Structure 1
Amino acid sequence: MQKIVTFLAVIMVAFTAFLMWPQKDQSEGIGDEEAPDRKETASTDTKPDEPVEPEPFELALIHTNDTHTVMDNISRRASLIEEIRRANPHHLLLSAGDVTSWEIGRKAQDSLANAVFMNHLGYDGMVLGNHEFDLGEGVVDHGPLSTYIKHAAYPILGANVDFSQDQFLEPYADYSYTDEPVDGRINKGYVQTVGDEQIGIFGITHYKEVVTVPGDVSFSDYTEAAKQAVAHFESIGIDKIVALTHIGIGHDRTLAKEVPGIDVIIGGHSHVTTAPPNQIGDTLVVQTGEYDTYLGELNVVFDEAGKIVNHSGKLHPTKNAEIHPHTARVQELFDEATALGIVNYEDFIRHIIEAGELDTYEAFIE
């Protein structure tokens, strides 16, 4: 009996010692590297997500107007265009019309040459100017103009022009707003996607009998045409709208006042420069002068609602630019023509055609 009592006493002492021995925290040493900081986790779990501010959209609009077949600057214009494109990931190259010359008698070769070189430079669109419709001095129809349109690798615009009675132009006229650019067609306007944004672009032109004879082509009120264009783009959710116009600076300013919703008017016909850009309400109006003297650059910043919140404009003198290596042959041909006593641009184009080099130019590569 005494042995049993002694054994039980030993067991009790051992058990008491076990209970009093310091115990290890069982949370330590098991997945130490994965165990979250409870304090940090608690603060992260209770913090609401912060709203992400939308990025502004920056767009460079490179533009020309009333170049009138001036060709000796083509290689220099090419360098300026490439420079602006490299500096601005989002860009468009647009013409506000009168690309052809005053010399009506050479319209056929003039029209073809302008299409080829504008393809080479990579234009994104143009509006027809009043001199594109010139007739007279042996040109009795719009066959030369149809040649220009057929060869253009960019959309041609004329929202207020009716081509239905002209056998040469009607086949190229769609009378519509397209959801993407269509090369070599006449449209009222189109949607150009730049980056992740969509830009609505439309074109209107003006007719004055004293400077051009349009033949079977007729023109409607430009203000109403512009209102219809803006309404169309807004109806499909486009909040960035550019008008290419060939109506003159005074009419451009009127258009900016009377037609809300146009963000930028790139104009022509007046042969004037805008430096800095004219601002009428929420609309910017720009022109580059005449005869390829300047290349226009308008940089705009749109907010998430499609409103321009910042802008800057430049006019780059083309004569000061470097000759682009891809277009250097044009300058060489011009120097050859000058040495032969060829002093006008229309004869210079004939010189290029006779040299068999006009069709060697492909689209300008960015």
Structure 2
Amino acid sequence: IGQAFPYTPIANPRYFVSEWTFGIQEDEMQKVVDEARSKGARVVILLSHNGMDVDLKLASRVTGIDAILGGHTHDAVPQPTVVGNRNGKTLVTNAGSNGKFVAVLDLDVRSNRIADFRYRLVPVFSNLLPPDPGMVAHVARVREPFAAKLDEKLATTEALLYRRGNFNGT
């Protein structure tokens, strides 16, 4: 099951997503989870772009989700948080951002439920991997018409800038 960033229409021009609706629609999510279970799903995983805080709340309110693999807030969570809800529990985790980690979640499923799990973040040392020549050429081709604009210096700061959130920062 997938869950898009609920604030997409606020964070982007509305015409990008004029035909779509967004939000934390937990009643709809519960229906989708229940439908998946009724069709025989032994395990239900939610791939989310809500952010860790919203995923934790969603896990406490929607039952039947075994794990939420989330994003948006760029948290590299070393171990899943186990969230209880009225019918069980849900594992919630995020794997960081920008390909710095690959999250590996192994589930031991017995009798249609998760009996155990193993989780780890595997660091990706991209600076040690040689770039793929074909991809480098492709990116250069796609970027070329916009290179002058993208390379234009807009301003210079005299102080170090910090990112303080997902709606503001550098």
TM-score, normalized by the shorter chain, greater than 0.5:
yes
Q: Conserved in 1, the CA contact under 8 Å of 2:100 and 2:125?
A: yes
Equivalence map 1:27-66=2 (5 Å): none
Question: Residue 230 of structure 1 aligns to a residue in which SS?
Answer: helix
Partner residue in 2 for 1:280: 83
In structure 2, relative to structure 1, the CA distance for the partners of 1:329 and 1:307 (3 Å cut) is: same
In structure 2, relative to structure 1, the CA distance for the partners of 1:237 and 1:354 (3 Å cut) is: closer
In structure 2, relative to structure 1, the CA distance for the partners of 1:296 and 1:239 (3 Å cut) is: same
Distance between the aligned counterparts of 2:127 and 2:77, measured in 1?
20
Deviations 1:104-123 (A, max 9, x none): xxxxxxxxxxxxxxxxxxxx
Structure 1 residue 307 and structure 2 residue 113: aligned?
yes
Question: Residue 116 of structure 2 aligns to a residue in which SS?
Answer: strand
Partner residue in 2 for 1:160: none
- Larger Rg over CA atoms: 1
Equivalence map 1:117-136=2 (5 Å): none
Give the number of aligned pairs.
136
Partner residue in 2 for 1:266: 69
Distance between the aligned counterparts of 2:128 and 2:46, measured in 1?
30
Using the TM superposition, give the Cα deviation of residue 226 of structure 1 relative to its aligned residue in structure 2, in angstroms: 1.3
Letter in 2 for 1:285: V
Structure 1 residue 292 and structure 2 residue 99: aligned?
yes
Structure 1 residue 214 and structure 2 residue 20: aligned?
no
Question: Residue 226 of structure 1 aligns to a residue in which SS?
Answer: helix
Distance between the aligned counterparts of 2:29 and 2:119, measured in 1?
24
Equivalence map 1:180-329=2 (5 Å): 202-205=1-4, 206-215=6-15, 216=18, 217-281=20-84, 282-304=89-111, 306-319=112-125, 323=129, 328-329=132-133
Which one has the bigger strand percentage? 2
In structure 2, relative to structure 1, the CA distance for the partners of 1:247 and 1:260 (3 Å cut) is: same
Using the TM superposition, give the Cα deviation of residue 330 of structure 1 relative to its aligned residue in structure 2, in angstroms: 5.0
In structure 2, relative to structure 1, the CA distance for the partners of 1:242 and 1:256 (3 Å cut) is: same
In structure 2, relative to structure 1, the CA distance for the partners of 1:235 and 1:318 (3 Å cut) is: same
In structure 2, relative to structure 1, the CA distance for the partners of 1:352 and 1:252 (3 Å cut) is: same
Deviations 1:211-268 (A, max 9, x none): 2223213225431221011110122122211111111111101111111110011111
Structure 1 unpaired stretches of 5+: 1-201, 335-347, 356-366
Letter in 2 for 1:311: F
- Calculate the TM-score normalised by the size of structure 2: 0.68
Using the TM superposition, give the Cα deviation of residue 318 of structure 1 relative to its aligned residue in structure 2, in angstroms: 1.1
Provide the aligned C-alpha RMSD in A: 2.7
In structure 2, relative to structure 1, the CA distance for the partners of 1:319 and 1:262 (3 Å cut) is: same
Distance between the aligned counterparts of 2:90 and 2:60, measured in 1?
8
Which one has the bigger helix percentage? 1
Using the TM superposition, give the Cα deviation of residue 273 of structure 1 relative to its aligned residue in structure 2, in angstroms: 1.4
Q: Conserved in 2, the CA contact under 8 Å of 1:204 and 1:222?
A: no
Question: Residue 120 of structure 2 aligns to a residue in which SS?
Answer: strand
Q: Conserved in 1, the CA contact under 8 Å of 2:9 and 2:22?
A: no
Structure 2 unpaired stretches of 5+: 145-170
Using the TM superposition, give the Cα deviation of residue 316 of structure 1 relative to its aligned residue in structure 2, in angstroms: 1.4
Distance between the aligned counterparts of 1:214 and 1:330, measured in 2?
35
Q: Tell me: higher relative CO, structure 1 or 2? Use CA pairs within 8 A at least 6 residues apart.
A: 1
- Calculate the TM-score normalised by the size of structure 1: 0.34
Deviations 1:172-209 (A, max 9, x none): xxxxxxxxxxxxxxxxxxxxxxxxxxxxxx11121255
